[in-house]
Amino acid sequence: MNTKINFAGIEMKNPVTVASGTFGYGREFSNFFDLSKLGGIITKGTSLKPKSGNKPPRVCETASGMLNSIGLQNPGVEYFAENDLPFLKQYDTAIIVNACGSTIDEYVELCKILNTLDIDGVELNLSCPNVKKGCMAFGNTYDGVKEVTSQVRKVLDKPLIVKLTPNVTNIAEIAKAVEDAGADGVSLINTLLGMKIDINKRKPVLANNTGGLSGPAIKPVAVRMVYQVAQAVKIPILGMGGIVNGEDAIEFMLAGASAISIGAGNFISPTTSIDTIKQIEEYMKKNNIEDINEIVGKVEMNS
């Protein structure tokens, strides 16, 4: 059986990656399994300068999921390059850095630095606040997505994947902007905007009032969006949103994802990603699938 894939120019031994923000930089999870078994690691969101993030409480559990409002806390790209990247390079897996910023200039300067590092690709996080436009997210409009992706493309020679927010009216249109701007791939979905209220205090549980909903609760929305985007663009899709096992992963791939990412599932069990790889292989054996790439986009829609 062949589980190897080439995603947006990045060679992976299997289609399973771990989603940004849920795996840190891999250190904690390396105590549970060999990180080399993963197709790829997508790092925690990394910015040009260190960020302290939002004030707590920043995480709370919800029905079949969780809300988070971490605020992109991270030590900055300089610290990453000196401390976290050498650790990750010990392992035989693709390293993709999730890049975040508040302005186009920040994204460009960050990606100039990332272009000099020994990494396999960049995932551009376009769900970050855009301070120049009243804290709107870059990823909310075709023009916004195309502008920042185009500017980054000029300074980045490495494979460029753009991560999209689902909090839009037409996800296919936004994905088309990514393709039109010259990106190599698109990843979706990021978290859905949500809120939880403490009925006794009559206040939101999160200090930031709202947060991003992830986990199994959002999977049907994510699968639908992956399918819609697959019909609209030719660049490969990295699918994510509620994947906790091999069956979930196969569902995303049938919808059109060439690779998948596991996020909140890492909090349910630290070995979710490794278990998912094994379950994909079991599915392939059971269904006589010789090459995992054969099933991408092969869902047969009802007439």
Active-site residues, by number, are 128
Both tokens of residue 235?
A: 């660049």
Could you tell me the end-to-end alpha-carbon distance of the chain, in angstroms, rounded to an integer? 32
- Burial annotation 165-199 (CB, 10 A radius, 16+ → b, else e): bbbbeebeebbbbbbebebbbbbbbbbbebebeee
Q: Is 5 helix (H, G, I), strand (E, B) or coil?
A: strand
- Which element (helix H / strand E) includes 187? strand 185-188
Measured at the CA of 229, the angle between CA 222 and CA 243, to 5 degrees, comes to 25
Which among 120, 234, 119 is positioned nearest to 182, based on CA atoms? 234
Cβ atoms 126, 165 nearer than 8 A = yes
Burial of 303 (0-12, 13-18, 19+ CB in 10 A): exposed
Task: Please give the Cα distance from 133 to 141 (Å, whole number).
Answer: 12
- Residue 94's contacts (CB-CB under 8 Å, 6 or more residues apart) are 10, 11, 12, 17, 39, 40, 41, 120, 121
Which tokens hold the place of 294?
């054969």
